A and B are shown apart, each in its own frame.
Chain A
Amino acid sequence: MNGMLFLIPIALLLGLIGLGAFLWSLRSGQYDDLDGAAERILFDDDEDS
């Protein structure tokens, strides 16, 4: 029974971290330009300059 006292908060904490990560990615605009992000991976940044 004692284990539960640890495990439940740990489970909730892990869940909260996932939720926080998603909300952060939403806030930082990672879903704003899905089309652009798909193309940007193809850019060859070191070919010039």
Chain B
Amino acid sequence: MASLGDTAAAVDLTAYTRAQDDGEQALELIVEGLHCGGCVRRIETALAKQPGLSQGRVNLTTRRLALRWRGAAAQAADLAQAVEDLGYHVVPYDPERLRSGDAQAEKQLLRALAVAGFAAGNVMLLSIAVWAGQAQDMGPATRGLLHWFSALVALPAIAYAGQPFFRSALAALKAGQTNMDLPISLAVLLAAGVSLWETAQGGPHVYFEAAVGLLFFLLIGRYLDRRARGKARGAAERLLALENRPVTALLPDGRQTRLPADQVHAGMTVLVAAGERIAVDARVRTGESELDNSLISGESLPVPARPGDPVFAGTLNLAAPLTLEVTAVGGRTLLAEIVRLMELAEQRSAKYVALADRVARLYAPLVHSLALLTFLGWVLFTDTPWQMALLTAVAVLIITCPCALGLAVPVVQVIASGRLLGRGILLKSATALERLATVDTVVFDKTGTLTEGRPELHDAALEPEGLALAASLAGASRHPLAQALLRAVPVAPLAEGVQELPGRGLLLASEAGEIRLGSRRWCGLPEDESAEGPELWLTAPGSAPRRFAFLDRPRADAAAVIATLKNRGLSVELLSGDRPAPVAGIAEQLGIAKWQAACSPADKVAHLESLRAQGRRVLMVGDGLNDAPALAAASVSLSPSSAIDISQTAADAVFQGRSLRPVLELLEVARRAENLVRQNLWLAFGYNALTIPLAMAALVTPLIAAIAMSASSLVVIGNALRLGRAAPAGAAR
């Protein structure tokens, strides 16, 4: 794989380099193959030896490398090469193009939360002094002073920390709608306004602490919610970066040049080195190699590519250099088509509205009318001064404030995702749990999902002698089948002088004659179309050719998990892009009655659409980029973490490990979380039903309203915590 290095050629790196004000150059790169702190250290140590570099820092969370150096922009190529030499692939990252704004919004919320927390603590301190003073004999002057201090802290804090709510309320008003942020903004602004008026009048009651406390609690819920949603950002950015790979084009005059993929046009000739990812759809002109199609088809075995064969953007050229004739670029490649399908499907599932939002849509107008009714009622039908009537209305707004309602869902989600994370399941979508709870059909992909996605040696009738010989040759190759052979015979001694002929097989010249390990054709045997599954042949002088067959085994507990799913009344189906024979075999072995083989990504989406049209709620479990549209088209989706990044983006949840049991665990936790959310919503409503009449009757001051509101939030949180403790029945490990 020595040729891997030249994929980093610098044609477009300088285009991404930004000159800084202080004369330094800055560049951000996405690093592929970054796993742990060890990788971070290797890269940073190697970069430290580069001249002129002032910063070379890897961010392990976002998998990005930030470079700053003094000197020419063209030095970018050397720096990128230094990282490539370590075996990591780097892709330039354009912050302008990928600006998601999500990270900014999260930081903004955190800042608002910090300010609100500071203000809530200090204002509460001052308020307690005032309350204590009422029981003793605090003079009006001291009380007024404390009130002014409270105002001094609370008003700027409200102006700053309330912005997320005010903005969203304003946006809703402009669109002629109401949302949950409108009553919140009204309650906060009214409480602050009335308190300021009271303070100026030297009155006894101010409610700054209620206003600030309200903001603080709501911001906690908001922040938790945002974090639960924000985890999937990075992988989508990496997919976009894939389009940035430069292409080596062969000009008509025989010169080679490197171009960005979007400047290549159909009919051009491009070269692809071994180990390089193909950036365009094309047809092979010369060369013979093997391609890793796993990004496109999800299938783990390499596919041979010979002159005339079509190849697709996103596949990895494994064995030997190829010359390709471009057939489609940019928006018309298969990769772009899959991304487009996925986006379409995601738009559909985005129409799903979280339960809390649905409730809020009905709830907000109700709260406004109740508060207005209270105010008008007190002003029109009694001789209460308008300030008192307004305070009563504020108490209604605060007590009906959806704090408990706002926390009811996020808190359950945070605890459920914490629990699932402990069992190796990562929830990515905020609404995934709600959707999982209603699932009635589970559709599985085959390779890498029901199976482990890596070939294993089929151990029927193999004599150890031939196996040891084959394994001693196989040690020289990175081919997946050779690796599988090595796994079966881990102690085989490595043969010296093995040659690898890309796309064909391995060759060892011994004294007795040539020993060959590879395809049927390589070993000089007649073609046989009926042969099932992947195989290797071994020919050695003086013995008959020996065949090694490989199987992609189902996960050990797949049959048990599918039986349990069926017992729970779920309908189970299998959709695969693989050939009918192996799919039928797996389906029969695992007891799945409904299966379809040879499905294209569009077929899978169409099948899921038809299930949806029948009113089914489908959980799609799959990996591979070809499943990405299907994952997005299903009501809810799950991916094993051995899957590549992109399908992890499309899936609502990702699980780790060799077991399929997380599917059961996830469904069980989702069901229990759904119950808890409903209980929480009822608790929140019950509290409202009890306290709203009291508040409307002016029996509750805004302060007591704020305390009651907090108490209801605590009850809701406490209820949600139950999910973290007990093990769900039937899903024990």
Contact A33 B122, CB 8 Å, known A23-B111, A39-B36: no
Chain A residues whose C-beta falls within 8 Å of the C-beta of B111 in the assembled complex: 23, 26
User: Contact: B107 with A26, CB < 8 Å?
Assistant: yes
Alpha-carbon separation in the docked complex, A36 to B41 (Å): 10
B352 contacts chain A at the CB level, 8 A cutoff = no
**Number of residue pairs spanning A and B whose beta carbons lie under 8 angstroms apart:** 54
User: Contact: B40 with A40, CB < 8 Å?
Assistant: yes
Q: Nearest Cβ in chain B — how far from A49, in angstroms? A: 8
Chain A residues whose C-beta falls within 8 Å of the C-beta of B126 in the assembled complex: 8
Q: Which stretch from B53-61, B170-178, B238-246, B637-645 is at the chain A interface? A: B53-61
B153 contacts chain A at the CB level, 8 A cutoff = yes
Most-contacted residue by chain B among A31, A33, A42 (CB, 10 A): A33
Contact A16 B118, CB 8 Å, known A8-B126, A39-B36: yes
Which of B41, B125, B142 is in CB contact (< 8 Å) with A43? Answer: B41
Closest to B122 in A: A15
Segment 93-136 of B: residues with Cβ below 8 Å from A: 107, 110-111, 114-115, 118, 121-122, 125-126
Q: Nearest Cβ in chain B — how far from A4, in angstroms? A: 8
Alpha-carbon separation in the docked complex, A33 to B65 (Å): 12
Segment 14-33 of A: residues with Cβ below 8 Å from B: 15-16, 18-19, 22-23, 26, 31-33
Chain A residues whose C-beta falls within 8 Å of the C-beta of B41 in the assembled complex: 43
Q: Nearest Cβ in chain B — how far from A38, in angstroms? A: 8
Alpha-carbon separation in the docked complex, A8 to B153 (Å): 11
Chain A residues whose C-beta falls within 8 Å of the C-beta of B62 in the assembled complex: 32-33
Which of A12, A26, A33, A40 is in CB contact (< 8 Å) with B153? Answer: A12
User: Contact: B118 with A33, CB < 8 Å?
Assistant: no
B149 contacts chain A at the CB level, 8 A cutoff = yes
Chain B residues whose C-beta falls within 8 Å of the C-beta of A23 in the assembled complex: 111, 114
User: Contact: B45 with A12, CB < 8 Å?
Assistant: no
Chain A residues whose C-beta falls within 8 Å of the C-beta of B61 in the assembled complex: 32-36
Contact A36 B110, CB 8 Å, known A11-B125, A19-B115, A19-B118: no
User: Contact: B59 with A32, CB < 8 Å?
Assistant: yes
A48 contacts chain B at the CB level, 8 A cutoff = yes
User: Contact: B37 with A43, CB < 8 Å?
Assistant: yes
User: Contact: A8 with B60, CB < 8 Å?
Assistant: no
Q: Nearest Cβ in chain A — how far from B405, in angstroms? A: 29
Chain A residues whose C-beta falls within 8 Å of the C-beta of B145 in the assembled complex: 4
Contact A48 B45, CB 8 Å, known A26-B111, A35-B61, A36-B59: yes
Alpha-carbon separation in the docked complex, A37 to B665 (Å): 32
Q: Nearest Cβ in chain A — how far from B311, in angstroms? A: 36
Q: Nearest Cβ in chain B — how far from A27, in angstroms? A: 9
Chain B residues whose C-beta falls within 8 Å of the C-beta of A15 in the assembled complex: 118, 121-122
User: Contact: B60 with A39, CB < 8 Å?
Assistant: yes
Alpha-carbon separation in the docked complex, A36 to B399 (Å): 44
Most-contacted residue by chain A among B37, B58, B115, B149 (CB, 10 A): B37
Contact A19 B114, CB 8 Å, known A12-B122, A39-B36, A40-B37: yes
User: Contact: B37 with A26, CB < 8 Å?
Assistant: no
Segment 34-67 of B: residues with Cβ below 8 Å from A: 36-37, 40-41, 45, 58-62
Chain A residues whose C-beta falls within 8 Å of the C-beta of B59 in the assembled complex: 32-33, 36
Contact A18 B118, CB 8 Å, known A1-B142, A11-B125: yes
Query: Hey, what's the 0/1 contact readout for B151-163 against A, CB within 8 Å counting as 1?
Result: 0010000000000
Query: Hey, what's the 0/1 contact readout for B233-261 against A, CB within 8 Å counting as 1?
Result: 00000000000000000000000000000
User: Contact: A22 with B122, CB < 8 Å?
Assistant: no
Contact A39 B118, CB 8 Å, known A26-B110, A32-B59, A33-B59: no
Which of B110, B114, B149 is in CB contact (< 8 Å) with A8? Answer: B149
Alpha-carbon separation in the docked complex, A42 to B142 (Å): 55
User: Contact: A36 with B142, CB < 8 Å?
Assistant: no
Alpha-carbon separation in the docked complex, A44 to B30 (Å): 25
User: Contact: A39 with B125, CB < 8 Å?
Assistant: no
What 9 A-B pairs are tightest by C-beta distance, nearest first? A39-B37, A36-B60, A33-B59, A19-B118, A35-B60, A35-B61, A33-B61, A22-B114, A15-B122
The chain A residues found within 8 Å of chain B, CB to CB, are 1, 4, 8, 11-12, 15-16, 18-19, 22-23, 26, 31-36, 38-40, 42-43, 48
Q: Given A4-B145, A26-B110, 19 other A-B contacts at CB below 8 A?
A: A8-B149, A12-B122, A15-B121, A16-B118, A19-B115, A19-B118, A22-B114, A31-B110, A32-B59, A33-B59, A33-B61, A33-B62, A36-B37, A36-B58, A36-B61, A39-B36, A39-B37, A39-B40, A42-B37
- What are 22 sample pairs from A and B whose C-beta atoms fall under 8 A apart? A1-B142, A8-B126, A8-B146, A11-B122, A15-B122, A16-B118, A18-B118, A19-B118, A23-B114, A26-B107, A31-B110, A32-B61, A33-B60, A33-B62, A35-B60, A36-B37, A36-B61, A38-B37, A39-B37, A39-B60, A43-B37, A43-B41
